[in-house]
Amino acid sequence: MANPRDPGFGRRFALHGFGNAFDRPPRDLLIVLVTLFVTFVMQFFDATSIVPSLLRLTSLVWRAGWVWQLITYPFIGYGGPSVWFLVELLILYWFGRDVYAGLGRKHFWRLVIVVTLAAGGVALLVEGLQEVATGLPLHGAFPLLQGQRMLLAIVVAAFATANRRATILLFFVLPIEARYFLGIEILFAFFGYLATRDLGGMLGICAAVGLTYLYVRDGGGFGRGLRQTRLRLERWWLQRKLDRIKRRRGFRVIKGKAGGASSDPWLN
pLDDT at 172: 67
Domain assignment present for residue 149? The answer is: yes
Cβ pair 180, 157 in contact under 8 A: no
Domain assignment present for residue 247? The answer is: yes
In this structure, the answer to whether residues 198 and 243 fall within a common structural domain is no
In this structure, the answer to whether residues 162 and 208 fall within a common structural domain is yes
* Cα end-to-end distance, the chain, whole Å: 42
Q: Percent helix, strand and coil across the chain, each rounded to 5?
A: 65, 5, 30
Residue 75, Cβ density class (10 Å: 0-12 exposed, 13-18 middle, ≥19 buried): buried
Cβ pair 40, 147 in contact under 8 A: yes
Q: Please tell me which of 130-139, 146-155, 211-220 the model is most confident about, judged by mean pLDDT.
A: 146-155
In this structure, the answer to whether residues 203 and 240 fall within a common structural domain is no
Q: State how far the alpha carbon of 240 is from the alpha carbons of 16, 25, 233, 244, 268, in Å.
A: 45, 53, 11, 6, 15
Question: CA 152, CA 212: separation in Å to the nearest integer?
Answer: 11
Residue type for position 11: R
Average pLDDT over residues 242-265: 55
In this structure, the answer to whether residues 187 and 87 fall within a common structural domain is yes
pLDDT tens track for 182-241: 988 999 999 999 998 889 899 999 999 999 999 998 765 555 555 555 566 667 667 777
In this structure, the answer to whether residues 200 and 246 fall within a common structural domain is no
Q: Return mean pLDDT, the chain.
A: 79
Q: Name the H helices within 56-147.
A: 60-63, 69-72, 84-134
pLDDT at 237: 67
% of the chain with per-residue pLDDT over 90: 43
8 vs 200, residue with greater confidence:
200
Residue type for position 197: R
For residue 170, is pLDDT > 90?
no
Question: CA 197, CA 101: separation in Å to the nearest integer?
Answer: 36
List the beta bridge partners of residue 176. Answer: 168
Specify the CATH number for the domain of residue 152. 1.20.1540
Residue 255: give the domain boundaries: 230-260
What count of residues does the chain have? 268
17 vs 241, residue with greater confidence:
241
The pLDDT confidence band at residue 82, using thresholds 50, 70 and 90, is confident
Rounding to the nearest 10 degrees, give the CA dihedral for residues 197, 74, 210, 152: -90
- In the chain, the number of structural domains is 2
